Amino acid sequence: MAHTGHGEGHAFTFMNPRLRDGLTVHSRRSVLKASLAGIGGLSLPGLMRLRAEASAQGSSLSGNKAVILLWMTGGPSQIDTWDPKPDMPLEIRGPFKDIRTKLPGVHMCEYLPKQAAMLDKFTLIRSVDCRQSNHEPNMVMQTANRAAEPRTNPKGHLYPAIGSIVAKHHGPNDPAMPPYVVLNQKSRSHVAWGGWLGQQYDPFNGAAATKLFELPGGLTMDRIQSRLTLSQQMDGLRADIDASGTMSAMDSFSQKAYDIIAGGRAQEAFDLSKEPKHVLDRYGDHDWARQALLARRLVERGSSFVTIDLSNHGASGTWDNHGDNIPPYGGIWNGLRPLLPVFDHVITTLVSDLADHGLLNDTLVIAMGEFGRTPTLGTQGSTDGRNHWAHIMSMCMAGGGFRHGQVIGASSRDGGEIAERPVTPGDLAATIYHHMGVPLTTTYNDHQGRPIFVVEDGAPLKELI
């Protein structure tokens, strides 16, 4: 599989990758624009209507089910994480040793000792079929549709994220919270969006929320909450909003949505200072760890789908380990090796903390990237890198009330092909929708009004249920 370079002349320079992503709040005007953008991302206008319609029909959208997706941006190597090949030559097995885990006969990378010690709480999937998946934008695995590949399909960016489907058809577990949130978003191209569902189902940008809650001097939340002040200030922004298509959502439900984002529950959820010191110390100071703690706080308070962009930069992703001679990614030794202990700490701390708070049975934790990596080291002229490899990838799950402590599927002897039990993007989506109570027969319409099923070529993983 040929590699597309990530340096100058990048295919997605039109996305302005060198510009600061998200919203920067410097003034009253930018605060209001940030809050209105938050309303669009929250999808609360639609959700308020959905809840009103459900109430009128004698039903409800209650429930505490949630998903936290640890998105390993760039595509982690299956051989150097969860599917080691210790009996293969060095150019295949790589520089890492393997270690035993709590599951008899199951080994994994030596730099994941904490996860190895509690692997009975996890499921490893070693046979994910990620064909057609690419990155920048990272769409196929986050939408569960192989056609969602904007590099080859002009309509690829319009397939909605799984998180957007959950936002529309499940909604938040508490109406005062955003349903679909993205944290640590380093680039717009790292996550999937609302697409054909509409802007109101785009993910809520956690960074923008933090900026919104940290109001400039002289501007208080009481003043922002004033409907009269909002109405007056919106007059000056109407042209900008109409151009983005957001104004179509501004009605009585949108006003209530504004009240929610200006209210205390969402603001409190983003405030890590509310956590006890021992919890903060348990997670530590690393940005990824703090984002994981924030994800726990969000699902605890009612968000239903939280994605953490596990990347340190806005290029193709920190896990895109092509080789030490191909910065900023590094190879397996200097690029991947420093990431693994951080990831090991983040995922095990998150899962343990969710359990301690009584949230793990309701919260499905998923860790994966967009594809695997070549079974042979030294691609692209490097001595220690691995290129993109969409034939197979590994991933892991925990929580959600599923049966864990198992390995699903297997790779070939060299780790480059699926040997048994292929797991498709549709299977993963179906498992998530099963968990979240979204009917697998749910459809949405494309630009020509044709229905598209949210699950194509997939079924819930029977091993988990």
Q: Which domain holds residue 73?
A: 21-453
The reported pLDDT for the residue numbered 217 is 58
Dist CA 242 CA 457 (whole Å): 38
The residue ranking higher by pLDDT, 387 or 206, is: 387
pLDDT > 70 in the chain, percent: 74
- Model confidence pLDDT, tens digit, residues 67-124: 999 999 999 999 999 999 999 999 999 999 999 999 999 999 999 999 999 999 999 9
Residue 11: inside a domain:
no
Mean pLDDT of 431-442: 97
In the predicted model, is pLDDT for residue 243 greater than 90? no
Residue 249: inside a domain:
yes
Do the Cβ atoms of 68 and 365 come closer than 8 Å? yes
Residue 34: inside a domain:
yes
Q: Which two tokens stand for residue 119?
A: 């692997």
- Give me the chain's average pLDDT, please: 84
- Model confidence pLDDT, tens digit, residues 323-361: 998 888 899 999 999 999 999 999 999 999 999 999 999
**How many domains are there within the chain?**
1
Residue 8: inside a domain:
no
The DSSP H or E segment spanning 393 is: strand 393-399
CATH number at residue 200: 3.40.720
Instruction: Please list the residues that pair with 182 across neighbouring strands.
Output: 205, 307
In the predicted model, is pLDDT for residue 295 greater than 70? yes
Q: Do you find a cis peptide bond into 89, omega within 30 degrees of 0?
A: no
Residue 56: inside a domain:
yes
Dist CA 182 CA 189 (whole Å): 12
* Residue that is written with structure tokens 């919260």 in the block: 363
